Chain A
Amino acid sequence: MSEKNNLSAIEKIKVASDGLRGSIKQSLQDEITGAIREDDKAVIKFHGMYEQDDRDRREERAAKKLDRLYTFMIRLRLPGGFLTADKWIAAHNIAGENSTGVIKITTRQTIQLHGLVKSKIKPTIQAFSEAHLDSIATCGDINRNVTCASNPKMSPLHAEVFAYADKISELLMPKTKAYYEIWINDEKIVDKKDEEDPLYQDRYLPRKFKIGIAIPPNNDSDVFTNDIGLIAIIENNVFKGFNIAIGGGLSTTHGNPDTYARLATVIGFTDTEFKTLKAVYEVLTVQRDYGNRSDRKLARLKYTVDKYGVDWFREELEKRIGFKLEAPRPYTFTERQDLYGWEKSEQGLWYYTVFVENGRVLDDEKIALKTALLEVAKTGKSNFLFTATQNVIISDVAEKDKPAIQKILAQFKIIEHTENASAVRRNSIACVALPTCPLALAEGQRYLPTLISKIEPLLEKHKLADENIIVRMTGCPNGCGRPYAAEIGFVGTAPGKYNMHLGGDNQGERLNKTYKQHLDEAAILSELDGLFGTFKKERKKGESFGDFANHKWVSDKK
């Protein structure tokens, strides 16, 4: 109940939005502009969209007396990143008709489309709706897409754990029917009582909120980077419950020393579904009531946890849930990566993880990935799972159907593409950045593949090509590509310039630190050449690059 007096502008917009309606309907009627009204830009995020514009085109369009090329990005709600074949086909078709055509797999296991002009939003959402897909609450100050350990191969109990992604997503949905009213059927809800929202009230959360689930020993979902991380505890092949971690979050702001990346702190254990869901729910209410609503840069749960202290937070939470959290159970993460190629689950179903560079599904001159996935979907013999490293798993394939899928994958050279990708490339992540992201200071997904191509020869030179070094790049310090949880992180500072971060561990339990600032490509490559040489010479047997870098180069850094 703090900072009530000095509410940020967004807080006022949320409260005045009439259940996230704002003036979106009027904005859609404004024929003269491709943009929506100023306040609606904040409101529409809760419906899963960002207004963006093509920054590359600004100057030329201004000379042509044309307004900025405003378009919208729309992100689906796919708890755990699961999609049936039918839904993939629908998304494929919608992407072709209304957006740039590229389907982007995000770092939160969902897919998003870019380049929707204003008049295409409604038809897009309606088409999604017909396919039983929605974009509710995938952006905005609210619980976003829930992530989960992706590959059923990881545990025979994967399905049991995975079900929580859906349950949590449902539990934390906003109650307003504005989404349906605006985009689907236009019928104004008469009884506002149905919309009463005890969780979000009319102010929602102070900032975005992320929840992820992991199944040790693989931390592929980067569980500690979430506001709430749930670590599945499996003992003797029995799923016991979750360790609950709070206060993870990576976004920082250049030049603002009060901002920092933070990994979530494990505060306890819950053993039943009821208790787990109750605890998750009330973490949100504590954050709702105590989070900073005057400075959005300091509004994430991590700042609330650090401001009041972990112990205080646990006590406040226990007061609200009405029971004590148990002591955390032991767990061990040993890796953080996707299991490329074919894997068979305990239940006897097959899973093929396809390498998708930076999550961009499209047909280009090298590979017809989009068509290949469509062909796979058309067989109706598989589902689709997206990973937090922006890849896709062709999932739940029966033994008898495997040859048919294998044939398509071979025919479209998907197998070759996946197998030939170097270790460093497979483990890399880049955010969207330029030209559409308004926050970007430097390139992300458009540049990282090129940089990787220049890093690969250095690794080969030092005979490190097989190392699973995790490289991540973002165009700004906001952290969408989780660069602070990488072994080598690049954070854009200006066009062509990046801060280089080193010393994160391989499994995602230690953040990296800034090693050098404001490097251009030549400096990056010459630095890496030296670092790889030293690492090769001095590493202990089996020591990861991140661990080595941590004690060698950044241990004394902030």
Chain B
Amino acid sequence: MLSESKLKAIKDFISSLNKDEQIWASGYLNGIVFNSGETTAAVAGTSADVKPLVSKITIVYGTETGNSKKLSTEFAGKAKKVGINAKVIAMDQYRLTDLLKEEYFLVVVATHGEGEPPEAAKKFYDHVMQDNTKLDKLKFSVLALGDTSYPLFCQTGEDIDKKFETVGAKRIAPLQKCDVEFEEDANKWFGAVMAALTSSSTPATQVTTSAAAGHGAASVKKTGKLTYEGPIITHINLNDKGSNKETYHIEIAAEGLEYQCGDSIGIVPENNSQMVTDIIAKTNIDGNKSVLFKNEKTTIYELLKRKINIVYLTERLVKQYADTMGHAIPVGRMDLLDIVKKYPIKNIGQFEDFLVTLNAISPRLYTIASSPAAHEGEVHVVVAKDVYINNGETRFGLCSDYLKNLKIGAKQKFFIQANKRFRLPAEDKDIIMVGPGTGIAAYRSFLAERDATGASGRSWLFFGEQHFASDFLYQTEIQNWFETGVLNKINLAFSRDQKEKVYVQDKMQQNAAELYEWLSSGASFYICGKKDPMSTDVENTLLKIIEQYGNQSPEGAKEYLEQLKEEGRYEKDVY
């Protein structure tokens, strides 16, 4: 394209530059090109005067739903445009020893559940939190994704941000927390970070505007969590008389519902009314009194009933109460009602102050048990009543107890939590589904969907529970799918119907040859249900089967599984 002489001149010039100057030049040229009129005006305005101050950055992300990854890639694209070499790595693939060598280091991380890092970020997070090696070369900024409906909003990002500071790293832009609808806040952070990485006359706000231009309302809708509300239309205990379990199948109708098979539903439970009334009666606090909670005006009753968590308070909160009220309370977790009964409050004002410091009730997620194609306008969940023992007393989990007591016709709010890592494959692909207990939820969704859409791929279900007679969740529906060929194979493990306990992994082992055959001909493998010990046992059995029937070493089997994971053919939804 260039004449020989021009090319030589450029080559000479470039060789005279040091590395940083070369990068600058590249950005400079880039700017000139963007300004030349061949690109759109919107982009041109932002790029013209931007000059990179650094040559390369590393962006690590820890994602739960894919949003952190998406944002990291998006920012990397912007950085590349101004001439910054941006490397994007998932936290679970990041070599932790590289941290010492990093200079410009950006963290995009989500917070999961009760303030925990996403599964894929755990190793990175633990390393950062535990290692106190000085990182004074490191220049960083953190973008934290979260959900204000959880008490520990953006906790993971916050922890990393603080920790980097304590080990001597330099913050180049303040921590940015984002709520469910993260677009705008993320763009603010993009602007702030970009400003720190470049010498630019362009105000950060302009960057924000331009970056946001590509994301309309539709995008927000796609990634954000819409809240729905609708009546409970069905509420059944699926277990028969004589069962040790109570498992509720709940159907909620709602308009404009959008979700996919594999997604979850989020529900914020309310506290037990009796418990709330008892607390008010015991403490003589005025239920109608207005208070401020998270900058929102509410009444004490509303606060106790719908806002704050009053069951199984953490040791820290119990201690806080003990200190405030001047009681000696043994270390441990307690319900608020038990605390005020055993250790009466001494001052109503102090108690009010204590109440507003309690954690907000966090939403609980349940894998959706319905299919958009088969159950239009409805979402179904299956919830096992959670029973645990505290101080020798039988207690019920807050949300399962709340859901158990819902009445037909009552309105229920909920939101949809997308799970992009648990999806049906193409309609002609085979699926192997392992899901004992309420793990059946996702597969009822899958099978109903495949039934409704007439998918041609084969399906194989492994289900287990305690007793065949009383605990075979969705038995008649599963029988229908089996009879009509929607479900091609089923193996059941009822652990307590015989002397020796039998579990789903035992059934996998009994059918190992065929299972491996399905895998090697392209089947996707799913695990849904209890993380421990179920999903671990199932995974170990799967590895064993790959070893045995794929003639693999233990390492080879692991690689095989990794490969499946990469192809999106090994997916887990465990809790």
Contacts and interface: CB of A to CB of B under 8 A. Distances in A.
Nearest to B507: A31
Contacts of A33: 479
B492 A117 contact: no
B472 A66 contact: yes
A61 interface: yes
A121 to B, nearest CB: 13
A64 B492 contact: no
A273 to B, nearest CB: 47
A31 B475 contact: no
Contact of A64 (B239, B468, B478): B239
B240 A66 contact: yes
B402 interface: no
Contacts of B472: 66-67
A220 B24 CA distance: 113
A31 B490 contact: yes
A105 interface: no
B479 A66 contact: no
A81 interface: no
A119 interface: yes
B478 A32 contact: yes
A119 B238 contact: no
B514 to A, nearest CB: 15
A33 B492 CA distance: 10
Contacts of B482: 32
A69 interface: yes
A66 B491 contact: no
Interface string B366-385: 00000000000000000000
B497 interface: yes
Q: Determine which residue in A31, A66, A117, A119 has the highest number of CB atoms from chain B within 10 A of its CB, and name it.
A: A66
Interface residues of A, number: 16
A31 B497 CA distance: 12
Nearest to B461: A32
Given A62-B476, A66-B476, A117-B497, A34 B236 contact: no
B139 interface: no
B469 A31 contact: no
A117 B498 CA distance: 11
B237 interface: yes
Contacts of B468: 34, 117, 119
Contact of A32 (B236, B490, B497): B490
Contacts, number: 49
A64 B497 contact: no
Q: How large is the interface on B (under 10, 10 to 19, 20 to 34, 35 or more residues)?
A: 20 to 34
A57 interface: yes
Interface of B is mostly: mixed
A63 interface: yes
A32 B479 contact: yes
Given A57-B240, A64-B237, A31 B474 contact: no
B498 A66 contact: no
Nearest to A66: B475
Interface of A is mostly: loop
A41 to B, nearest CB: 17
A34 B469 contact: yes
Nearest to B249: A65
Given A31-B491, A119-B497, A69 B240 contact: yes
B469 A117 contact: yes
A66 B249 CA distance: 13
B477 interface: yes
B153 to A, nearest CB: 39
A123 to B, nearest CB: 8
Given A117-B468, A119-B497, A119-B498, A67 B240 contact: no
A544 B472 CA distance: 56
A61 to B, nearest CB: 6
A94 B239 CA distance: 27
Interface string A465-504: 0000000000000000000000000000000000000000
Contacts of A63: 236
Q: Determine which residue in B468, B482, B498 has the highest number of CB atoms from chain A within 10 A of its CB, and name it.
A: B468
A64 B490 contact: no
B240 A64 contact: yes
Nearest to A118: B468
Contacts of A60: 240
Contacts of B479: 32-33, 67
Nearest to A71: B469
B236 A67 contact: no
Interface string B466-508: 0011101111111100100000001110000110000000000
Contact of A67 (B237, B239, B476): B476
B364 to A, nearest CB: 23
B469 A65 contact: no
Contacts of A32: 475, 478-479, 482, 490, 492
Contacts of B239: 64
Interface in B95-146: none
Contacts of A69: 240, 469
Contacts of B492: 31-32
A226 B492 CA distance: 45
B474 A65 contact: yes
B238 A66 contact: yes
Contacts of B478: 32
A365 to B, nearest CB: 20
A65 B490 contact: no
B240 A65 contact: no
Interface in B204-253: 236-241, 249
A392 B471 CA distance: 38
A69 B475 CA distance: 11
A67 to B, nearest CB: 5
B498 A65 contact: no
Nearest to A60: B240
A66 B470 CA distance: 8
Contacts of A64: 236-240
Contact of A65 (B241, B475, B491, B497): B475
A57 B215 CA distance: 56
Interface in A43-94: 57, 60-67, 69
Contacts of B473: 65
A177 to B, nearest CB: 27
Nearest to B476: A65
Interface string A100-137: 00000000000000000101000000000000000000
A259 to B, nearest CB: 36
Contacts of A34: 468-469
A63 B241 CA distance: 13
Interface string B326-352: 000000000000000000000000000
B56 to A, nearest CB: 58
25 contacts: A31-B490, A32-B475, A32-B479, A32-B482, A32-B490, A32-B492, A33-B479, A57-B241, A61-B240, A64-B236, A64-B237, A65-B236, A65-B238, A65-B473, A65-B475, A65-B477, A66-B240, A66-B476, A67-B472, A67-B475, A67-B476, A67-B479, A117-B497, A119-B497, A119-B498
Given A65-B475, A119-B497, 19 more contacts: A31-B490, A31-B492, A34-B468, A34-B469, A62-B476, A64-B236, A64-B238, A64-B239, A64-B240, A65-B236, A65-B238, A65-B474, A65-B477, A66-B476, A67-B472, A67-B475, A67-B479, A69-B240, A117-B497
By Cβ-Cβ distance, the 9 closest A-B pairs, closest first, are A31-B492, A65-B476, A67-B475, A66-B475, A65-B474, A64-B238, A32-B490, A67-B476, A66-B240
